[in-house]
Amino acid sequence: MDFENKILSREVHQILYESGKTVGTAESCTGGKIAESLIAVPGASTYFKGSVISYTDEIKEKLLNVDHQLLEEKTAVCEEVAIAMVKGAINTLNVDYAIASTGVAGPGGGTKDNPVGTIWLACGSSDEIITCKLTNDFGRDINIAIASRRAMQLFLQYLTERQVHKKSMPSEG
């Protein structure tokens, strides 16, 4: 894991550890690399519950409850599926937050509408999910590394902008 990912992991760790919130992942094209980033810091077991590696549409449907019709109409490489994967992971893993990835890492599998390097990332809670689309192809290994790092950046941004704070303490009165 590169240095930047370690820093991102530590920042996410501090926020989740102090807030008492939990996270899980639903990964397709990144194949567990986002989860690997999340558990890089000792103590991750206090907030990281697990991951669903949903590399096929069948697993997206069965374990994450992604709608079959959506997959048929839009394919797995779209914003709507990334959002559905976050919601599915939140329910399946019983977590406060989830991070998802779906896309075409390469070298094959690309289409005119979704060329190699097209990757949708999503993260959030059941109430609010944000997304990001990657579109550049740097080769399979680099595409996966970039997507994993960007997913961690997106999640850190999500947590920071929503000011996820320490566990709520009774106010003094």
Give the CATH number for residue 69. 3.90.950.20
- Model's pTM, two decimal places? 0.94
pLDDT recorded at residue 109 = 94
Per the domain annotation, does 170 fall within a domain?
no
Domain assignment of residue 156, yes or no: yes
Is residue 35 within 8 Å of 25, Cβ to Cβ? yes
Is pLDDT above 70 for 173?
Answer: no
**Domains in the chain, number:** 1
Q: For residue 145, is it within any domain? A: yes
Amino acid 149: pLDDT:
97
**Boundaries of domain holding 86:** 3-161
169 occurs within a structural domain: no
- Summarised one tens digit per residue, pLDDT across range 12-70 is 999 999 999 999 999 999 999 999 999 999 999 999 999 999 999 999 999 999 999 99
Average pLDDT over residues 136-160: 97
Residue 110 has pLDDT above 50, yes or no: yes
pLDDT given for residue 1 in this prediction: 64
Q: Is residue 166 in a domain?
A: no
Q: Is residue 167 part of a domain?
A: no
Confirm whether 115 is domain-assigned: yes
**What pLDDT is attached to residue 165?**
61
Report if residue 171 sits inside a domain. no
